[in-house]
Amino acid sequence: MSASIEVTAPAKLNLSLRVLGRREDGFHSIDSLMVSLPGLHDRLRFQGAAEDVFTCNAAGVPADQSNLVIRALTVFRRETRMTTPLAIHLEKNVPHGAGLGGGSSDAAATLRALDRIHGTSLSHERLCRIAAEIGSDIPFFLGAPVARVGGRGERVEEAPALPRMSILLLKPSFGVSTPEAYKHWKDSEELPGIPYEPQCFEWGELVNDLERPVFQKHLFLAEMKKWLLEQRGVRGALMSGSGSTMFAVLRGVEDASWIIESAHRELDPKLWAWAGEVGG
């Protein structure tokens, strides 16, 4: 391989996330409606090299098996016996520990790129089996942009297209540990004055069972949700995945700029923000 190829890895939102219980394998069964955010994505570049090299524009990103890109490379090679050395560069735009699936999407994009590079033409089913071994959310990123996800995340069923919606994402500087969120799900309690009930839309509900344990540990996220729901132009607000990103469904994308300005002024001047559209 001489020429380089580039692929993108979109973020995702959990529009709904129900936790159904703990499984015998230690994971939790879920029922979630997920949608990809093509306007917010990482970018990966692959090029032939004398030896394997991994680089990233973001500081602190590991280059070992804790990195899902490296893990995807390792598992793909084990499955296919393709061992061509590669230089991989990851351009991170999706924040880490955000509940937006950045690492999982990077892994899925890596599997697709490796399949293309080596001409292995793996079936969708086989790619999904490999993906499920690497991480729970990864199979979603190999399928349709809107899907109902079950099991521990390995069961993915295409869902009806969503109407076009304007979305605002806000994330504080800290992240949230997904294993910790699930660990405390069963014994967590609701905080008084914080809305947890499902928010109804024409396509379904905004609801997230992980808000309960996460809000108990990170009160600021609970206050962010409450604050978002009080803003003019906001139709609904929810935590995505295990957090720490909070998102709002807006009446129109034109409302995003002033809400971001208000959030920086009233909540935290260092909040990361992104606005765009999904569906349609």
Instruction: Tell me if residue 217 is catalytic.
Output: no
Q: Which two tokens stand for residue 158?
A: 């295409």
Give the separation between CA 228 and CA 247, rounded to whole angstroms: 8
Of 12, 92, 171, 225, the catalytic one is 12
Give yes or no for a contact between 277 and 199, defined as CB atoms under 8 angstroms apart.
Answer: no
Give the separation between CA 53 and CA 202, rounded to whole angstroms: 48
Using CA atoms, how far residue 225 sits from 55, 176, 208, 249, in Å, is 36, 16, 12, 12
- Distance between start and end Cα atoms, the chain: 38
Of 106, 115, 137, 255, the catalytic one is 137
Q: Which two tokens stand for residue 247?
A: 């998102």
∠ Cα 16 22 23 (to 5°): 110
Give the separation between CA 147 and CA 136, rounded to whole angstroms: 14
Instruction: Tell me if residue 137 is catalytic.
Output: yes
Question: Peptide bond before 66: cis, by omega within 30 degrees of 0?
Answer: no
- Dihedral sign, Cα of residue 199, residue 258, residue 91, residue 42: positive
Q: Where are the alpha helices (DSSP H) in the chain?
A: 68-80, 102-118, 124-134, 178-183, 211-217, 219-229, 256-266
Q: Which two tokens stand for residue 278?
A: 């999904």
Give the residue numbers annotated as catalytic, written as ranges. 12, 137
